[in-house]
Amino acid sequence: MTTEILPLDREGICPAARQVPSPNHDARPDGDTVRVVVVHNISLPPGQFGGDDIERLFTNRIDPAAAPGYDELARLRVSAHFLIRRDGELVQFVPTEQRAWHAGVSHWCGRERCNDFSVGIELEGSDFAPFEAAQYARLLALLRGLAERYPLAAIVGHSEIAPDRKTDPGPFFDWAQVHAALPQLRPA
């Protein structure tokens, strides 16, 4: 098992990531720091991989006529800190020192507004297909870098912090692999 670590700089930029800045972020509340990592899945159009629609969504450039449902997506102002493509490419939209808009209405361990104290990582995927080995390798390396920088308490799925609204990362996400590599990040 590899123990690669992807470090972050002082602003929370990962030099190993391709930078695609999103305008959809703001400052974390005073005194808040990253305590939780939230894992999501995303594919645009749904169930299709590749293409640049995810990057377009997170940078407010999605074409509302490009696919069914995109008219609704074009009105959203959302982002994540990172996206891990199917081939393991890491894309960063928001520095981790900033609050990305990924969790929506959410709660964890009695606290609401998980965006205030979390990092959001999107895996290119869906609830209906396994993730790729390259994605897990990149995710584990990134999690190690985040754990070196922040006092992380857990890694959770979007479904755990918004159970009435979300199902991701879905039934194909291999939690056992993640927890075996990073046992200190089991959910509370």
Catalytic residue among 55, 97, 122, 124: 122
How many Å apart are CA 41 and CA 110, to the nearest integer? 24
How many Å apart are CA 141 and CA 59, to the nearest integer? 25
How many Å apart are CA 98 and CA 12, to the nearest integer? 8
How many Å apart are CA 113 and CA 107, to the nearest integer? 6
Radius of gyration of the chain (CA): 15
Enumerate the β-bridge partners of residue 92: 19, 82
Show the tokens assigned to 54. Answer: 């995810």
β-strand 154-157 against 118-124: which pairing, if any?
unpaired
CB 170 within 8 Å of CB 113: no
How many Å apart are CA 109 and CA 118, to the nearest integer? 13
> 124 catalytic, yes or no?
no
Q: Show Cβ contacts of residue 16 under 8 Å, excluding neighbours closer than 6 positions.
A: 6, 90
Q: Which residues are catalytic?
A: 122
